[in-house]
Amino acid sequence: MSISYNSYYVTGHHCRDYFESVLLHLTRGGGKNALQTLSPLDSRRFLPLTFLEDNERSECYHWMKECYPVYEDESNTDTKFKRNRIRNEVLPLLENENINYHSIYWNFHTWETGNFLEFLSSFAEKNSDHPNQIVSNKTKHFIIPHSTWFYCSNSKRKELIDFHLNLLGFPTLYKAPFLDFIRQTEGERAFFQNKLFTIYKSKLGDIWILDNSSPLFSAPDWEQNENNLHIRWNEKHRQIPNPDGKLSFRNSLPGEKIRFHFGKKEISECLRERKIPFFMRKNIPILFYEDDPVQILFSFFDSNLKDLPQNWQNKFL
């Protein structure tokens, strides 16, 4: 009688190992497939260290080495092997140039979402009091650059959308709504929404693909606590000193303007200029001093955007 187990096996390969393998394959005449070696989840093999940046110096990496014994192969120091020469002579030169193994690895890898999330869910249920915590923190939206979209044929555009929907855990887009979305892109904006997800593109803007449970769809929350104003939105929180209680938060009114050093400008125009999708604009947090809008908190929407204006305190405080 034979017994089979529904299980995964885990190896200790990390992103530095990946780059070592790529160089090894290329020196032997390997092609583009060499860039996709050491997948994070291949059949039943899982590579958890590929998800950690700077693996060999991270606390988590050293913690795992303490918990699980690591046995060094004696041949690792023998320079007659090409792999060892790459590891000990070539990689240190690249590291002196600040190579980022983790970033390069994930430029050429993804995973089958269903299998990957099934693995994480199964692992979490056995090892955590909060089995849904890992899965609930998955990405809630993706952005496809306009430049990528512009140079793709419609068949490739369909593949792009379906690929990102798959990453979100959703079924592919049917042909009819896809063709309608393509037709809409000839105008000022294209918009598709069903019960699960939303797809949006402005005329020259990027493609947004969003899970409808994304925090970007929720309204900001704020409260005054002692001498501070607390604002929460898009899984971000900020505490702003407010000792006199004159700072507040609310949505902007139609036609409302905000003051800059050169004069006033409509808030709606500021939001359009930064290509905020129209259905999110009402959720962008705006700070008021007494009844005057003084700052649009763009950084809640995207950490790479600056709040405007930046020096509003000089005008009101």
pLDDT digits (tens, 9 = 90+) for 254-271: 899 998 877 889 999 999
- What is the pLDDT at residue 286? 92
Model confidence at 250: pLDDT above 60: yes
Could you read off the pLDDT of 128-182 as tens digits, one per residue?
A: 444 444 334 467 999 999 999 998 999 999 999 999 999 898 999 999 999 999 9
CB atoms within 10 A of CB 141: 16
Short-list 273, 251, 250, 6, CA closest to 122: 6
Q: Where are the alpha helices (DSSP H) in the chain?
A: 15-27, 59-67, 82-85, 91-95, 101-107, 113-127, 133-136, 146-150, 154-168, 175-184, 267-273, 313-316
Average pLDDT estimate for 237-247: 87
- What is the pLDDT at residue 56? 55
Beta bridge partners of 144: 207
| CB contact burial 38-53 (16+ within 10 A = b; e otherwise) | bbbbeeeebbbbbebe
Pair 101, 18: CB distance under 8 Å: yes
Q: Across the beta sheet with 189-193, what order do the strands follow? A: 141-144, 207-211, 197-202, 189-193
Lowest mean pLDDT among 33-37, 177-181, 277-281: 33-37
Short-list 186, 155, 183, 161, CA closest to 173: 161
Percent of the chain topping pLDDT 90: 31
Pair 224, 245: CB distance under 8 Å: yes
Higher pLDDT, 206 or 52: 206
